[in-house]
Structure 1
């Protein structure tokens, strides 16, 4: 049921405003122990420097943890037409930090392309099928990043 609701256009309109605000508030109140959206999907708080400002930007994001200790971030923007701002931040400044399960971890982000992206995309669709709906709504290719510990 959650996957069905998250695939709707109404959810795509409302979620970008509501979900990150709730995530940031709950994460702050619990001192990094709880990320509300992580009750559905694994999640991190990404801290990356702004592409233009250079200022730290904190963004709660769903992720797909990989067995080798890396994480995949998905720039789906809930199936909205533009790439999310955090993806531009990582393209400009790939060294970032995540908070994963209450621990701060320094990472470097790598934009996935070609066969590597295709392989990860297939795994993502098994992990969370609504990503296919998000991709079908937009002409842009959804950006995928692999985060590697520094």
Structure 2
């Protein structure tokens, strides 16, 4: 089982973290994410049992879903934070017009593993809850705000998922 440290989104972030997340909001970082990181990160997280990923100081964990059509295990690295006992994950895909494939998988099969721990996914629909969670998400990863704006230009609402421990 991998390590899943508790991530308090209200904890103050240091200068290095703020600088790193500012870089992650650039086009260069988006290109790296789309062409390199999404392929390597799941492998690194799996091999190191969650101790090291390309997110470096970002709270990332390996999300294992079941393919919507195939039923096969699919693994993706995701940024997460805690909201009490629940773990929150954002299906942003850089704000592109389509949802990430893993989101379609969790809609079809909401029983997932995060860092090897079992969870049941609930999609947050309530606007008050979404606003509260966006405020927390933006503290953990400020580029989410730009991703939301980009997604809105193509009429996509970025899903917020809460993982409930089983």
Aligned to 2:122: 110
Aligned to 2:23: 5
Question: Which structure: greater strand fraction?
Answer: 1
Pairing 1:8-23 to 2, within 5 Å after superposition = 8-23=26-41
Kindly provide the CA deviation profile for residues 102-139 of structure 1, in whole angstroms up to 9, marking residues without a partner as x.
xx211000001122112111111122211001111122
Q: Does the CA-based 8 Å contact 2:45-2:77 persist in structure 1?
A: no
Q: In angstroms, what is the RMSD of aligned CA positions? A: 1.7
TM-score, reference length from structure 2? 0.79
Aligned to 1:127: 140
Pairing 1:1-150 to 2, within 5 Å after superposition = 1-30=19-48, 32-66=49-83, 68-99=84-115, 104-113=116-125, 114-139=127-152, 140-150=156-166
Distance in 2, matches of 1:2 and 1:110, equals 30
The gaps in structure 2 that reach 5 residues or longer are 1-18
How far 1:13 sits from its partner (Å)?
2.8
Question: Relative to 1, partners in 2 of residues 1:10 and 1:63: Cα closer, same or farther, differing over 3 Å?
Answer: same
The gaps in structure 1 that reach 5 residues or longer are none
Q: Does the CA-based 8 Å contact 1:109-1:147 persist in structure 2?
A: yes
TM-score, reference length from structure 1? 0.86
Aligned residues: 144
Q: Does the CA-based 8 Å contact 2:45-2:52 persist in structure 1?
A: yes
Q: Does the CA-based 8 Å contact 1:12-1:80 persist in structure 2?
A: no
Distance in 2, matches of 1:63 and 1:15, equals 16
